[in-house]
Amino acid sequence: MSKKQNETVSDIQKLAALIRSIPDFPKKGIDFKDITTLLQDRDAFNQVITHFAKRHGDKNVDAVVAVEARGFILGGALAYELGAAFVPIRKRGKLPYKTYEVTYDLEYGTETIAVHQDAVKPGQRVIVFDDLLATGGTVEAVLALMNRLGATVVEVAFLIELAFLNGRERLKSYPVYSAIKL
């Protein structure tokens, strides 16, 4: 890694100070990582998108796939910067066309997510992007949807990784990157 890349990674790590922790949300025992405080700082927001765009700019990405809701904010901006399509992964019942769905366990319940059946063509190169990697359940479900569509997953990328929860272990068949490890 070049000195310039090291400085960028170091600068991104410093952004962790802008992430607010909310204890006991959405339920007791969960320490929620709130990125809205980072998003409110236009320089920090720009720095995050620039970081990921530089990382993925030479990977010939066809689409950025992101999970609602916080993943949409970052994933949409990243897709724009890469000149790629944006593919939303939504909760059941929120997409208007024919969908594929996957139900999975969260650290605080269960959820069902969906994607349009025509969102990605077989062989298209995608980045799966979300704001946070915790236990890995959500992105594991997204990867199941991408496999069903025949997508080629270039990388699974996160702004934040809660490394102590070992979510990366569930994703070991894919390249995984997180900018900030907490």
Kindly list the domain boundaries of the chain, sorted by start residue. 3-181
Q: Which of 70, 155, 161, 168 is catalytic?
A: 70
Reading the block at residue 37, the tokens are: 């405080």
Is 140 among the catalytic positions?
Answer: no
Q: What string of pLDDT tens digits covers the 182 residues of the chain?
A: 444 444 455 677 789 889 998 999 888 888 889 898 999 999 999 999 999 999 999 999 999 999 998 899 999 999 999 999 999 999 999 999 999 999 998 766 789 999 999 999 999 999 999 999 998 999 999 999 999 999 999 999 999 999 999 999 999 999 999 999 99
For the chain, helix (H) and strand (E) counts, in that order, are 5, 9
Architecture category of domain 3-181 in CATH: 3-Layer(aba) Sandwich (3.40)
Q: Which residues of 37-68 are buried (b: 16+ CB within 10 A; e: fewer)?
A: ebbeeeebbebbbebbbebbeeeebbbbbbbe
* Structural contact between residues 126 and 154, judged by C-beta atoms closer than 8 angstroms: yes
Q: What is the pTM of this model?
A: 0.90
Q: Which of 68, 101, 107, 111 is catalytic?
A: 107
